[in-house]
Chains A and B, each alone.
Chain A
Amino acid sequence: MTTMAATLRAPLWRRLVGFNLLTAIVLGVGGWYAGWFGARAIVGPSLDYFADVDYNELSVFLAYLGGVVGFLAGLGFLNYPLARLRGYPPSLREKETEGIGRYFSLCTDHKVVGIQYLWGIGLFFFIGGLNAMLIRFELLRPNHQAFPAGTYLTLVGLHGTMMMGMMTSGILGPFGNYLVPIMIGARRMAFPRIEALTFWLLMAAGAILETTIFFGGFPTGWTGYVPLANEANPGMDNYILFFALVGISMTLLGLNMIATIVTMRAPGLTWTRLPIFVWGVLSTSTLMVLAAPVLVATLSMEALDRTAQTSFFVAGAGGSNYLYENLFWVFGHPEVYILALPGFAIVLELLPVFARKPLWGYRLAVAGLLGVTLLSWLVWQHHLFVSGINGDLRPFYMLSTELISIPTGFTFVCGMMTLWRGRIRYSVPMLFCLAWFFNFLLGGLSGVFLSDVPSDVTTHGSFFSMAHFHYTIMGGLVFAFFAAIYYWVPKMTGFQLNERLGKIHFWTMFLFFNSTFMPLFAAGFLGQPRRVVTYPQGLQFLNDWVSVSAFCLGASLLLFLFNLVYSLAFAKVPAEANPWRSKSIEFQLPSPVPVHNFDRIPVFSSDPYGYGEAPAPVVAPAGAPAGRS
């Protein structure tokens, strides 16, 4: 039995050039060109349909696929499978490096991956936010166009696709990866290499989506409806590749999470002692594993329509755009709960800490999460109420859509009763959690109008529905995301975030978020369709109000960025191990958490919500072996 102790130290050239972000980018670009010219060699110039441009769809697809393979090879993802193909036995770790370098290379430490996710997702979140600012800039005036119409549609598409694609992993990526192994008393995720792969795939996908601008952008928004997508620029291929890679990343992320939670819980951590956050991760992961493959399949069909001239979605050639709309929303509705459920879980996880009370109705809260997970499969045609698909099924989808508010309501009642008679402390994470209730309430109540077919006839496809899903996703997910950042980043980095800047950030964000999206309900009811570059003169005041508020919202997010950089890079006030007096296990570890989390695997004797109860130790160190016994 040998251990890692005997590792050889790599030579300098190897440490400089070998398998980091730099090699990844070099090989990625190389792979891109290899794919590009490879496709030209296969297809030949006869299939070039733009006389003046010597590329075709296949070039774009193969170039990017080559780029992704090169990128992953440059990071060192191929080393392990190649070794396995030659018969070397399975191993757990690709590489452990020290220092800052591990954040820019393939690292299988779940805590490093969590922090990589935080910055990587944050980067694309801010790029997506910038696109939103440009959209609102365009809409300052009803007729004057700041951007050409095609550029505007690309901005709309980039904003929507980036947010809907990237933010699916917005909480499971950073916080799931970082916290789930700790919360369940494990030292790692079940599949550390796959864990790292999900992150780097996502980064490659983000780069692919952004480079759509070199291929003319794409006009379809995040839904990618055919036939528009079939006739679109080569930039559409970037959308397809982006979302397909995100889908693969989501599937693997969910798979890894479920395998970890099911098999690697520490002794004593029964299903009823699991932190509610882990339940949220589990239900989200279930949706990811099952829904994301549908997305990948749908986009595969679309890719074949564009490259191999199949006719899945071509009406009149044996296909139907209804097929796309059905398949896309079969994925698309679980997708919005993939976005929303982690928000529920974080709010329920944090409320007990700041209300100083146990989580009220634990089983009801879990039932709520699972109920949403189940029902989210049965509602997809509510996106298609006026599309003419299965008109006779609309009463069913109206019922199932409204039924989903019952399990959602469980989250509300559990949260509210947790606050009841508590000793509420208004720290920044708590403020974000409370704002979540306000935002999600408005999002949910506006959803009542959208789920009701007669009312949906007017609100469907208008700014009303746009405001609705911004209230649920931005008001729900993003506010919970910030709650999680303020709550856990001190633990993850070992440095405090500035409380005063945090409070300013919260209040400005809350105020301007509502000031941005509340008027959009009115704009929708007054007849402004989504994704338009121009609108009636009479709606200019509303739109200008919204735009100015949106800019202020953007400024508020910049303030957050300033706080983050200032606190972590300049102020560097060391965080206490347990700044919130939480009973959760991650706060019983030092800040930042040591590489292997626990010297000895803990044994759990209760859930982490015993506030106000007899001060029994949450976990007792014991000599139990790793893994559930």
Chain B
Amino acid sequence: MSSAPLAQESTDYAVVEGEPPELLGRNLVAAAHLLASATAFFFLSFVFAYFYLRSLASGAMWKPRGVDASIAWGTVVTACVAVSAILVQRGLADHRAGRRPEWRRKGLAALLLGAAALVLQAIAWTQQSFGPSDGGFASVYFGWTAFLFLFVLGTMVWLEMVLATSYRYRGFAAGTTEVAPGEASGDPYRSGADIRDPVSLIRAELEALSFYWAFLAGIVVLTWIVLYLL
């Protein structure tokens, strides 16, 4: 090729790293959708297992006598998750409208509700009349709820991260934050503050999070329908 090399070696990080935060926001939203797709396929496997084993009922062991999940516990857990997801949605609306303190309060409530759902689910496991070795339904019930527990836990960790950043930088308006080197990674030997105005990413991350949390809450409701109602 006759054309000259386009780029020379450059260590001027201020120039080459100056990415607009919108790009990271777009990435996060794309990732949230992809993560939701992956989550959907993960739980579709359990949906398939439920209906497949139910239709086969091998050895008449789909639901032996005494195996029935307590709908009261399931409803309470599902309600906690659903309300939490709605709160995050409302909080996002607040954040969009510039009502930061309202978002933080709603976010905190959502986090607490999510944590409550996890604790209640853990208690619910011990309160069932059956154990994991009691046939097909018992297997699906414990497997499905166990992994749903992990997904909800992960999402709550994510919510905590967004919320913690919101609280730490509650005094700053977006675009004005001075973030010192190492501040972003929490480690002075590790430079992490290479995103221009990282605090403005809270909104983008919240958009992604609220989508994913609403999606996961949808899966929780589906779980409730399949495991407790059908």
Contacts and interface: CB of A to CB of B under 8 A. Distances in A.
Interface of A: 1-10, 14, 18, 79-96, 187, 190-191, 251, 254-256, 258-260, 262-264, 289-294, 296-298, 300-301, 304-305, 308-312, 315-320, 322-323, 326-327, 330, 577-578, 581, 583, 587-590, 594-600, 602, 615, 617-619, 621, 625-627
Contact of B143 (A310, A318, A581, A617): A310
B188 A323 contact: no
B179 interface: yes
Contacts of A327: 45, 48-49
Nearest to A307: B132
B107 interface: no
B6 interface: yes
Contact of B6 (A5, A319, A615, A619): A619
A84 B37 contact: no
A541 B192 CA distance: 63
Nearest to B143: A304
A262 to B, nearest CB: 5
Interface in B176-230: 177-199, 201-202, 205
A627 B53 contact: no
B5 A79 contact: no
27 contacts: A1-B197, A2-B193, A5-B13, A6-B180, A7-B190, A80-B185, A83-B185, A83-B186, A88-B184, A89-B195, A90-B184, A91-B192, A92-B19, A95-B190, A289-B34, A294-B42, A297-B46, A297-B147, A310-B142, A311-B139, A312-B139, A322-B52, A590-B8, A594-B7, A594-B10, A599-B7, A600-B6
A326 B64 CA distance: 25
Contacts of A18: 189
Contacts of B171: none
Interface stretch (B75-83, B89-97, B116-124, B157-165): B157-165
Interface of B: 1-3, 5-11, 13-20, 22-24, 26-27, 30-31, 34-35, 37-39, 41-46, 48-49, 52-53, 56-59, 61-62, 64, 131-133, 135-140, 142-143, 146-147, 157, 160-161, 164-165, 167-169, 177-199, 201-202, 205
A320 B57 CA distance: 9
A297 B45 contact: yes
Given A312-B139, A588-B5, A626-B20, A89 B196 contact: no
Given A259-B34, A310-B142, A318-B62, A88 B168 contact: yes
Nearest to A594: B9
3 closest pairs, A vs B, by CB?
A318-B136, A83-B186, A91-B192
Given A2-B181, A4-B13, A317-B135, A87 B168 contact: yes
B195 A91 contact: yes
Given A594-B9, A599-B8, 17 more contacts: A2-B178, A3-B17, A4-B193, A83-B184, A83-B185, A84-B164, A88-B185, A259-B34, A290-B41, A297-B147, A301-B143, A311-B61, A311-B133, A581-B1, A587-B1, A598-B7, A626-B18
Nearest to B15: A599
B163 to A, nearest CB: 8
Contacts of B183: 88-89
Given A3-B17, A94-B192, A300-B143, A258 B181 contact: no
A264 B23 contact: yes
A301 B49 CA distance: 10
Given A93-B192, A190-B30, A304 B142 contact: yes
B186 to A, nearest CB: 3
Contact of B160 (A85, A300, A330): A85
A596 B16 contact: yes
Contact of A621 (B6, B17, B52): B6
Given A93-B192, A597-B7, A304 B132 contact: yes
Nearest to A251: B38
Nearest to B45: A297
A296 B23 contact: no
Contacts of A90: 24, 165, 184, 195, 198, 201, 205
A186 B84 CA distance: 37
Contacts of B16: 187, 596, 598-599
B181 A6 contact: yes
A258 to B, nearest CB: 6
B14 A5 contact: yes
Contacts of A83: 184-187, 192
A82 B23 contact: no
B46 A191 contact: no
A28 B184 CA distance: 26
A87 B164 contact: yes
A590 B1 CA distance: 12
Contacts of B13: 3-5
Contacts of A191: 27, 31
Given A1-B197, A294-B45, A327-B49, A7 B165 contact: no
A81 B196 CA distance: 20
A263 B30 contact: yes
Interface centre among B20, B41, B198 (most CB of A within 10 A): B41
Given A84-B161, A89-B169, A588-B5, A3 B20 contact: no
Contacts of B53: 312, 318-320, 323
Given A304-B139, A310-B132, A597-B7, A94 B185 contact: yes
Contacts of A86: 164, 168, 186
Contact of A320 (B14, B22, B52, B199): B52
Contact of B132 (A7, A82, A308): A308
B45 A79 contact: no
Contacts of A92: 17, 19, 24, 192, 194-195
Given A91-B195, A312-B49, A577 B184 contact: no
A6 B18 CA distance: 16
Contact of B30 (A259, A297, A618): A259
A330 B45 CA distance: 9
Contacts of A326: 48, 52
Contacts of A255: 31, 34-35, 38
Nearest to B41: A293
Contacts of A599: 6-8, 10, 15-16
